[in-house]
Structure 1
Amino acid sequence: MSDRERRGGDIAGSERSIEGTESEPEPSERSVPDWDDEYVDRVSDRLMHNYDLEKDRAVAGERFTLYGEMNLVSQKHFLHPAISLAEHESNEHLFVQRVDRLDDETLDRYVDLGHELADDEEWLEPDEEHFATEFTFVAVAPSIPDDVRRRVADFSERTLLKYGYHGHYEINLVVVAPDREELVANENADVEAAFRLWDEIEREEPGILGLIARRLQL
């Protein structure tokens, strides 16, 4: 990856607006699977408004209980919306997996898979219109060891594509022990709020989509 450069921190950008389409189906019209896992099923109720969801998705030898995809398109306008100067795409791929235990090997698998998918144009197509793609991995476990907790809290993995001319991709990690009501996520994993079922999502605060859009500076 000679044309890629990794770094931490945010990429400053100009103001953008989210553009919707009339043909986008409402969440109630989408086919949302039912999960045998009660916790994941309740989480999916929070995710379905912003993500297209799949059940039991196999990816590169890993099987995930839930897979979610979200796509955002932003545009810059000059004087009138009909005059579009630029269009940028931001995407998130969300992978949720039940595991018996958490350790560094589990986290390493997720990070390696994120980089592997980023090299596959079926998952990320780098060009001038690409702004950001996130690969977010959520491990649901009975407990969270202290060493895993520290590593996830300090985790940061962002890679510039062609020195930023083709945007960037980012890998996020979330670990949750729902029976203990414990969760740890790296700083940029805004979707983690959907996995805190023991906490209400404050309606006066930005929703999950709003948080992600704000962080991506859309």
Structure 2
Amino acid sequence: MSDHERRSGDVAGSEHSVEGPESETGTSEPDVPDWDDDYVDRVSDRLMHNYDLEKDRTVAGERFTLYGRMNLVSQKHFLHPAISLAEHESNEHLFVQRVDRVDDRTLDRYVDLGHELADSDAWLEPDEEHFATEFTFVAVAPSIPDDLGRRVADFSERTLLKYGYHGHYEINLVVVAPEQEELVANENADVEAAFRLWEEIEREEPGILGLIARRLQL
């Protein structure tokens, strides 16, 4: 048996190829917006091969500076790729918002919005092939209060769909203070590495795609 994976966007640090529009030099480059926010713009450079990115996306009345979507599909094959035994799909919806300050109410809004989106067929289609959908919210703030940081680090929110037969969805929280070079995230928020601009992404470590792909292994 062999595994095959495909996705809508590749992930930084992986060895997988990406299909996209051809540039004038003949290389494949994604079409990425420009952000007026220098920090978010530099983060988008890390995300652009991983996610389909949008600028200034409004969702349920909440405006986000950056929205990103990644899709990953894992297939099990028997002897030949034409004979597919199982297919599981994992999605991540990434919402990044610049805020003047972050508090418990900010996090509560994100959690409530994640559950609201999970109840919408437009954002999550639960069926036998659905493995996981993640709603990851990133607040870019001037500073991170200590008590808030502890709440984010300890945060865990996973909901089984039809007792797990239709997979599950998760809500992830990330709070980053770029000028302070501080970031806190819950354990499953794998994308948080892209927001640590003051640190290099370790190429020898599993990339974001690798971390998510491990969750799709049967």
Post-superposition offset of 1:214: 2.2
Q: Sequence identity of aligned pairs in percent?
A: 87
Please tell me whether residue 39 in structure 1 is matched to residue 39 in structure 2.
yes
User: Which residue of the partner structure matches residue 20 of structure 2?
Assistant: 25
Alignment of 1:17-96 (within 5 A): 17-19=4-6, 24-25=19-20, 28-96=28-96
Distance 2:68 2:118 in 1: 16
Asked if 1:189 is matched to 2:178, the reply is: no
Structure 2 residue 197 is matched with structure 1 residue 202: no
Question: Where in structure 2 are there 5+ consecutive unaligned residues?
Answer: 9-16, 22-26
Query: Following the alignment from structure 1 to structure 2, what is the Cα–Cα distance between the partners of residues 157 and 23?
Result: 31
Report the counterpart of residue 103 of structure 1 in structure 2: 103
Distance (Å, rounded) in 1 between the aligned partners of 2:41 and 2:177:
15
Gaps of 5+ in 1: 1-14
Give the aligned CA root-mean-square deviation in angstroms.
2.0
TM-score, scaled to structure 1:
0.89
Q: How much has 1:20 moved relative to structure 2?
A: 6.0
SS in 1 for 2:199: coil
1:74, CA displacement in angstroms? 0.8
Instruction: Give, as a single letter, the amino acid of the residue that structure 1 aligns with 2:20.
Output: P
Q: 1:209 Cα shift?
A: 1.6
Structure 1 pair 30/193, CA: closer, same or farther in 2 (3 Å)? same
Once residues 16 and 108 of structure 1 are traced to their aligned partners in structure 2, the CA distance between those partners, rounded to angstroms, is 38
Change (3 A) 1:23 1:142: closer
1:24 Cα offset (Å): 3.5
Structure 2: how far apart are the matches of 1:20 and 1:175?
Answer: 27
SS in 2 for 1:19: strand
Superposition deviation, residue 217 in structure 1? 3.4
Task: Specify the code of the residue in structure 2 equivalent to 1:105.
Answer: R
Q: How far apart, CA to CA, are the structure 2 residues paired with 1:97 and 1:180?
A: 17
Q: Quickly say closer, same or farther: Cα 1:23–1:184, change in 2 above 3 A.
A: closer
User: Counterpart of 1:74 in structure 2: which amino acid?
Assistant: S
Cα offset for 1:162? 0.2
Give the C-alpha shift of residue 216 in structure 1.
4.1
The answer to whether structure 1 residue 173 and structure 2 residue 173 are counterparts is yes
CA distance in 1, matches of 2:102, 2:126: 33
Distance, in Å, in 2 between the alignment partners of 1:23 and 1:148 is 38
CA shift, 1:19, in A, is: 3.3
**CA displacement, residues 159-196 of structure 1 (integer Å, 9 cap, x when unaligned):** 00000000000000000000000000000000000000
What is the letter of the counterpart of residue 5 of structure 2?
Answer: I
Do the aligned partners of 2:18 and 2:28 also contact (CA within 8 Å) in 1? no
Q: Residues of 1 paired with 2:104 and 2:7: CA distance?
A: 40
Count, aligned residues = 205
State the 1:16 CA deviation. 4.6
Paired with 2:144 and 2:18, the residues of 1 have a C-alpha distance of: 42
Secondary structure of the structure 1 residue equivalent to 2:20:
coil
List structure 1 segments (4+ residues) > 2 angstroms apart after TM superposition: 19-24, 26-30, 214-218
